[in-house]
Structure 1
């Protein structure tokens, strides 16, 4: 889908989604005892403070020109684990907040998509396709971030279930996080694609079923993904 309006609309939705993802981390951390993100002005939906030159611009750009699957993110919100009331449990909850926000946005996009359909809009109109892409990309962001690979959010959840000695070793992997994530994306594209599909498709079916637009939602997304 090369329509410039669709591309711009999709970029706006994705930027808003990754911004909300980070705000969710900071908001939950604040509620659990750590005000760091709030004090640094990061609990805002203004995307500018959340832009990371590497994860938001450089990596997606490189992957786009390489023809590889595109991923990226916003600048991680600062969280001081020492301020959390129950450090390891709360660290896991802070980690879950980001993917959960993306799942909620995916359902919001599906709900708005259903409104457009009930208003008589065709599924191949720009509005429907941007919302379909919004649902697809947010469910993909949630699935990707739940991978238990430091520094992705799934690693925070995994740490909670590890014994202390294994936890320390696991934490040391975070310094290599960028290389680990890029290695997964570039070297295990097939496995990553299978995993993401196993997350995205059930969520799309659930969201479509809730709003009664399963067939229309999949039709719109197939149009987006078709060459």
Structure 2
């Protein structure tokens, strides 16, 4: 299995933790889009069975593979018809931002649970070294990955949520010019994926920022518990 370990961006022994994290993170992300779109009057996602926490309907195999190999990927996008909203631009922003915010929430909750496990002595009570390491690895991956997905999805490039938000907030006269550059988004992602060293200046800073967010919340919760 050495060839697989060389291909994957993540260590092979940590792969199960990444997959569990992605199942939870992607599922809640896409469910959040679908849920709010349906609540605001657009039944498109509901008719396609996307208002569900069933991971199978939200996963895109290529997107998952690229995330494990290249450091970024995607789930199946939730179709949204903004014409069904009573306030298309405002509700469109809420639907778009709901996905990234769900990852932010998961990251915060994951950090809180981890701090509580440490503060109440649960971690110290784990005598099995392998189980102890597994718990540490999982919470580290779960929190940082969700914070990373929160930041990554806010990048204003199609088809990411940040671009959809930008579409809804810029003046209508600028939409035509904005959409002229959509075709270049695929090229940009290919450059990030293929050009050696490019991820050092693109994906890596996002991971570092995600780690910084994690540490800030960890320090906040530690302070709350008087530690």
Change (3 A) 1:76 1:112: same
Scaled by the length of structure 2, what TM-score is found?
0.79
**1:115-140: CA deviation from partner (whole Å, max 9, x where unpaired):** 33133426962112201110000011
Change (3 A) 1:71 1:193: closer
In structure 1, C-alpha distance between the alignment counterparts of 2:63 and 2:140, rounded to whole Å? 24
1:84 deviates by: 1.5
Root-mean-square deviation (Å): 2.6
1:136 aligns to what SS in structure 2?
A: helix
Contact 1:116 1:128 in 2 (8 A): no
In structure 1, C-alpha distance between the alignment counterparts of 2:98 and 2:159, rounded to whole Å? 15
Moved more, 203-212 or 43-52: 203-212
In structure 1, C-alpha distance between the alignment counterparts of 2:103 and 2:25, rounded to whole Å? 7
Does residue 1:206 correspond to 2:213, yes or no?
Answer: no
In structure 2, C-alpha distance between the alignment counterparts of 1:196 and 1:3, rounded to whole Å? 22
Does residue 1:17 correspond to 2:25, yes or no?
Answer: yes
Change (3 A) 1:182 1:119: farther
Scaled by the length of structure 1, what TM-score is found?
0.79
Find the counterpart in structure 1 of residue 67 from structure 2.
60
Gaps of 5+ in 1: 214-227
Find the counterpart in structure 1 of residue 140 from structure 2.
132
Gaps of 5+ in 2: 1-9
Larger Rg: 2
Change (3 A) 1:167 1:60: same
Change (3 A) 1:10 1:194: closer
| Residues 205-224 of structure 1: pairs in structure 2 closer than 5 A | 205-212=215-222
In structure 1, C-alpha distance between the alignment counterparts of 2:88 and 2:178, rounded to whole Å? 16
Equivalent pairs counted in the alignment come to 206
